[in-house]
Structure 1
Amino acid sequence: MRKNTTLVLLAILTIGSFSIIPSLANADTQFDRTWARTRGVINRWEDNPAFGNLRADVFVTNNNGTVHEWARVFAMWTNENVEMDDPGITLPLPPKGNFTIQFYTARLTNSTEIRFDLPGYDLYIAGNWTVTNTTTTVTVDEFGHPVSITRTLEPVVTDAHGNFTVANTTTTMHKPLELAIDGIGTLKGFVYMGMIRHIEIKFFDVDGDGKVDIRDLVKTAKRYKAVPGMRGYSLDFDFNGEGMIDIGALTTIAANIEG
């Protein structure tokens, strides 16, 4: 059951990851505002296999030399060694019975430097990170519907220094990413979707129609209380990066609805 549950986590996190070519580009310094969005797959933790995803949203303004930076970066991964023939094509069904899953989450708590022009990199983010080891147990009814969710959160490091980078390379289809955090080690993977541009990116526009509205709130509400291992969970809806789509995700979208 543990292996099947982990397969579900990996498949949900990476579905579609292998068919999208990244489009990160160098920022044009003549503009005062820059937005960036990156989505990636994590497949190594130091020398061991890892399975997970990473999301990063960045906004930087430069007003006559006065720079303001904002970044929201989350990573989620498990270090269990699982077998999967083709995670980009096959999506196993969620488990019918009760299950327990263990995973790690890393969250950027404070960015100290954001660069789009560092030699060798499309994106560089330095700052402080908090990493948590989360164990989630889901109890389901006879129809497979969750009736209770219990989570145990164990802090691993708090406000540890770390760097997130996306390499600027044309030698591979997917650009390499790394997240190195003191006390944790280095996570490695690749970008499957990325952009850097001077036209606003609506970070909470989950349906991709170019605006944050009631439809985004409804789509997120349908995933309420979903956790890894359940089909409704996606890191794109987990705006706090805590391993559950909770009330915080709903209030975040509600606070950003336009008009």
Structure 2
Amino acid sequence: MPREAPYLAVADALRTRILAGEWEIGERLPSRARLAEGYGVGRNVMQRAMERLIIEGLLEGRAGSGTYVRLPRERLRMVRSRRHERWGSPSDVMKERGRAGAWDSHSQVRVPAPEAIAERLAISPGDLCVNTHYEFLADGQPVQLSESWEPMAITDGTPIVLPEMGPLAGKGVLQRMRSIGVTIETVVELPRPARATQAQANLLGISVGDLVLQIERTIYDADGRPVETADIVIPDVRREVAYEFAVDQR
């Protein structure tokens, strides 16, 4: 079995001491040099360990002052509900617990569908799609990534070909598709736990290998045709996901 990286072992030990209350919230920790000497590691190892705890929200660095214990960062709740009328709408996604949020998006047109995406959309590999990348923020922190694919055979030549441009920009897949006569009937989501890749960690401000929730979402019209599929990545340290279902009273 490979040995755990030294900075992870130090981070675990420091985390245990912080959660046990050895240092109060708002209290400054000993210097990194002193902590490194106490754990018998180099300063670079201690630096990485403390940076990890800063990312987790247990510590905060103050320029010219030191490193302090901070109030644990609240995990925002993300509700996935069959009652949502704006599936895929960034503005709807960002309303959890009344938090103001923002998002950035970038779309490319005429992107050939990779084999796995083509299978999810019931099209042929290489068929042209619109590919959109989203990055979501809440309280200035990155909280979610999403990559969406829509077949151009459905939207090409219409005002909604670009999800974040045109008269229905930001309105979500349901409303956008309805405007061109396509009725959405079903949303299927497959949530899976995973570990953050290097690219995901860079965008989300977390560490490689940190726990994330990956949701594979596909939206179908009334004829059972897939009209959009997306991969959603949510860092566990920032968000908790709740699924809400209506009860059939019949």
Q: TM-score range by the shorter chain?
A: under 0.3
Higher strand share: 1
Task: Report the TM-score when normalising by structure 1.
Answer: 0.22
Task: Report the TM-score when normalising by structure 2.
Answer: 0.22
* Greater RCO, 1 or 2 (C-alpha within 8 Å, sep 6+): 1
Higher helix share: 2
